[in-house]
Each structure stands twice: as structure tokens, then as C-alpha cells.
A = this chain, B = another copy of it.
Amino acid sequence: MATRDNAGLDAWRAMLLAYNASMRAIDADLTRAGNVPLTWYDVLLELSAAPGGRLQMQELADRVVLSRTRVSRLADDMAKAGLIYKIRDRDDRRVVWATLTDSGRREFRLTAPRYLRGIETYFSAHLTAAEKAVLTTALTKVNAAHAAARTVPGNEAP
């Protein structure tokens, strides 16, 4: 028994291990080099990509792989470090905008190459072009399914 569809399990197991090993190696390199931690980098990245270099806390949390709560504290720390600043919206005073400062932009430009090199060294270097392509399309489908599930929850407790 239990010999049915090992393919899915094998793929899952491989991803689990690859993700953890690569992530730890990349993060260790960044830390060793005195760069900002990966979580901070992720925030800088998303803000850099956003129009005006700013994003609502809500949106930021959705883009970064962290809980809303965590992003709130993270943003406070980064604001204290001068990489971003937080400001309330004029019209809807419930929303808060996290905005990149010049210092934040500088830090992002400084860290990005190291981060990209880490991905290359610890991950991409071991893959062929065809494999990269398949990984991207396949895992993007998985993500799409989860994103759809978030939009249509439908299974809360009453």
C-alpha cells in the first residue's frame, strides 16, 4: 500500500529541502557580509517595485511572505533605522503608507547584487535553462491556485 503517486510526494520533499538549504545559505551570506536581513530586503524590494516607492501596510503584507502583524513590527524597525517612513493617508485616516526613503533606496541597491548572487550560487547554478522554465511555469500554477483560494475563502467557521 501507499505506493500510489509517489511523484507528487517526491517533488514536494525535494522542494522542501531545496528551499530550506538555499534560503539558509543565502541568508547566511547576507548576514555575514553585514547586509540587511532577508525580511528587510523583501520589504525594500516590494517598495522599490511599487509606484511612488510606497505601499499600504495591507498591500505590503500581501506581497511579502509574512503575516500582517509581523510586517507592522518590521516596518517600525525599518522606520527607526531610517530606511522607510510611515505616514497616514489624508483621506482615509485608517490606512498607513510605508514609503521608501533615500537611505532605503540606497540600501536596496547595495544589497540587491549580493542577494542575486546568492540565488545564482546556491540555487540557479544547479539548474538547466529548461528546468528553470518548467519550475517557473509549474510553481506559478500552484501560486495562482492559492491566490484564487484567498479571494474565495468560503470555508470559515460560523
Residues of A within 8 A of B (CB): 5, 7-12, 14-22, 25, 65, 116, 119-120, 122-147, 149
Contacts A17-B143, A18-B143, A20-B65 given; indicate if A5 touches B120 (C-beta within 8 A).
yes
Nearest chain B CB to A135 CB, angstrom units: 4
Would A15 and B19 be within 8 Å (CB), given that A134-B131, A138-B134 are in contact? yes
A-B contact pairs, 16 of them (CB 8 A): A7-B132, A8-B119, A8-B132, A11-B124, A11-B127, A11-B131, A11-B139, A14-B135, A14-B140, A14-B143, A15-B19, A15-B139, A16-B19, A20-B65, A22-B142, A128-B138
Q: How far apart sit A157 and B111, CA to CA, in the bound complex (Å)?
A: 22
Complex contact A65–B16 (CB within 8 A):
yes
